Amino acid sequence: MCGIIGFTGNIPVQDILLDGLQRLEYRGYDSAGIAYFKEEQHISLRKTAGKVADLRAICDDNNSSVCGIGHTRWATHGGVSNVNAHPHRVGKVALIHNGIIENYHELIEKFHLGGKLKSETDTEVAAAVFEALYDGDPEEAIRRGVKLFKGSFAFCILFADHPGEVYAIRNVSPMVAAHCEEGSFIASDLTAFISYSNRYFIVPEYHLLKMTPDGITMASLEGETAEPEYLEVDWDVTAAQKEGYAHFMLKEINEQPEAISRTIVPRLANGLPDFTEDGIDDSFFEDCSDITIVACGTAMHAGLVGKSLLQNMFQIPVTVAIASEFRYEAPVIGEKSMVIVVSQSGETIDTLEALKLANRYTKKTLAVVNVKGSSIARESNYVLYTHAGPEIAVASTKAYTVQVATFFLLAVKLGLVTGKMTEKDARAFVDNLQRVPDVIRQILLTADDIEELTQRMTNAQNTFFIGRGLDYSLAMEGALKLKEISYIHAEAYAAGELKHGTIALISEGVPVISIANQSHVYSKVISNIREVKARGAYVILLSRDEKISDPSICDVQLRIPDLPDAFTVFPSVVILQFIAYFAAVGKGFNPDQPRNLAKSVTVE
């Protein structure tokens, strides 16, 4: 997944592109480049492997250009190199691309490009195709070209003899645009130009945009003019900046209390969940035979918590499916099935395609997404937006907790509608949910203690996260967090499974993060902990107990505030996020831009 940005207007473009790319760098950061109109009919390019800062270092200091495009790459076709960096230029065409042109080899043959290409990328092939079809009319060349492409794309395109104009078109890969007094902007997401406009529109698929300093025209491939449907966000540029935190991840961990409040409070009426403003009335929850939750990564882990909650509270069959698996299986979904897809970005391709599949079987599809107007939001029959604000760090933190909070609200609504939850119990449940932001604030104050104990882990080769029930679901999220930013191998294990093999891996000093907050299995987990402790493990215990001083149970206990079992997920996951963050920083890594990863997986 890559970051793209384009601008044409009445102020210098270079810093708009570079600053925008800096904000898009979480989408991909192995190389970067810009192209801009240097003179009337001449396009200049600057591009390099490395970070946006490396690109900035090779740019002109006094660049008066007011029209250009920029790209930050997460390599798919072709390795990380200067020549594979975008933009790519062929003849009069210069372009940037987010996506994958699956039939680019076929196009190399069709347009006899063999031996003429400089890079290994599908993007250069796209530029060559547009150039081959170009006879002075950019829109005609683009219309004819995209009809030949198979796969996903978001293109921004310059034509050397059309100075001041940026053209764009997308299929699957995200793109938003806006016109404001400074000119016309387009980008992968709003964070790139939020300092100029908090109004934007989603570029519809297969609609051709022509951007000039005076405005944006949009038309279908058939040439029918279309009007942009503008949206507005209530956050500003500071939300997309670190604001004094060392990393976005640390900022976003600390933003969780407010993110949860913004997500749940507007959906409470008279102390009970109310989704009227979301366009979801109680009938959506009636006559539901089963629930399937579909997502990827951390969003899928939030779904696991949702499953535990819904299934244990209401004995309704709940399945959690990994989207990339679900979409290629014969789904067991009927018209009374509810399918909940969860996605922070709303652009994860596997989750989007899984949703499209589910829509073929049931109308009860609900998307829990954090980005307004995202592809998944637009594809789903019902949408519940989480209000975490932009999540920039690749490692998802506040998105997870607001997704889990949303499942808590859904559980109460489902319980009330099905009569399986009394109003009294529902109110008590919501009261506990409203305590969560303050409970998380208590944990945030213990960051230094967690940093200190994490220092013992930074040299670990392997770590284990164990728990039972809800805590096992939580253990999965803790393991993923640690792996993806500290590169320490971690495995989440159902505590009761250890004796069936994995305990063989426990040796002196192996860190075992143990979560023991589910009362009905507490003593069992403690027994499992004693077993690993007896074999030399370094045990970090997350529990509500008063201080445990029994060395046969743990080396360190991190106290969880006294909440009902299910609600301990929230303070516990913040501790796990901190452990991952401090382990990564302790090893000298940048937790915001972990190797090989990108924020949203918009390509398969």
Give the binding site for ligand AGP (CB under 6 A): 296-299, 343-345, 348, 351, 394-396, 484, 600-601
Nearer to ligand AGP, 190 or 296 (CB): 296
For residue 262, what are the CA distances in angstroms to 4, 194, 402, 445, 539? 30, 20, 9, 21, 35
Minimum Å distance from CB 105 to ligand AGP? Answer: 28
CB 243 within 8 A of CB 368: no
Nearer to ligand AGP, 298 or 518 (CB): 298
Minimum Å distance from CB 403 to ligand AGP? Answer: 8
Minimum Å distance from CB 401 to ligand AGP? Answer: 12
Tell me phi and psi for residue 251, to 5 degrees: -60, -45
**Cβ neighbours of 115 (radius 10 Å):** 6
CB 298 within 8 A of CB 406: no
For residues 566 and 585, give the distance between their C-alpha atoms in angstroms, rounded to a whole number: 30
2 is catalytic: yes
Nearer to ligand AGP, 239 or 371 (CB): 371
Could you tell me the end-to-end alpha-carbon distance of the chain, in angstroms, rounded to an integer?
Answer: 10
Q: What is the 8-class DSSP label of residue 565?
A: G
> For ligand AGP, which residue has the nearest CB?
297
Nearer to ligand AGP, 121 or 351 (CB): 351
The SS3 call for residue 405 is: helix
132: left (phi over 0), alpha (psi -120 to 50) or beta: alpha
CB 331 within 8 A of CB 354: no
> Of the listed 413, 483, 533, 599, which one is catalytic?
599
| Residue 418 burial (C-beta neighbours within 10 Å; 0-12, 13-18, 19+) | middle
The SS3 call for residue 319 is: strand
Minimum Å distance from CB 469 to ligand AGP? Answer: 22
Minimum Å distance from CB 343 to ligand AGP? Answer: 3
> Of the listed 2, 156, 296, 554, which one is catalytic?
2
Nearer to ligand AGP, 179 or 481 (CB): 481
Tell me phi and psi for residue 338, to 5 degrees: -100, 135
Minimum Å distance from CB 314 to ligand AGP? Answer: 25
180 is catalytic: no
Nearer to ligand AGP, 426 or 601 (CB): 601
Q: What is the 3-state secondary structure (H, E, C) of 226-286?
A: CCCCEEECCCCHHHHCCCCCCCHHHHHHHCHHHHHHHHHHHHEECCEECCHHHCCCHHHHC
The residues that are catalytic are 2, 599
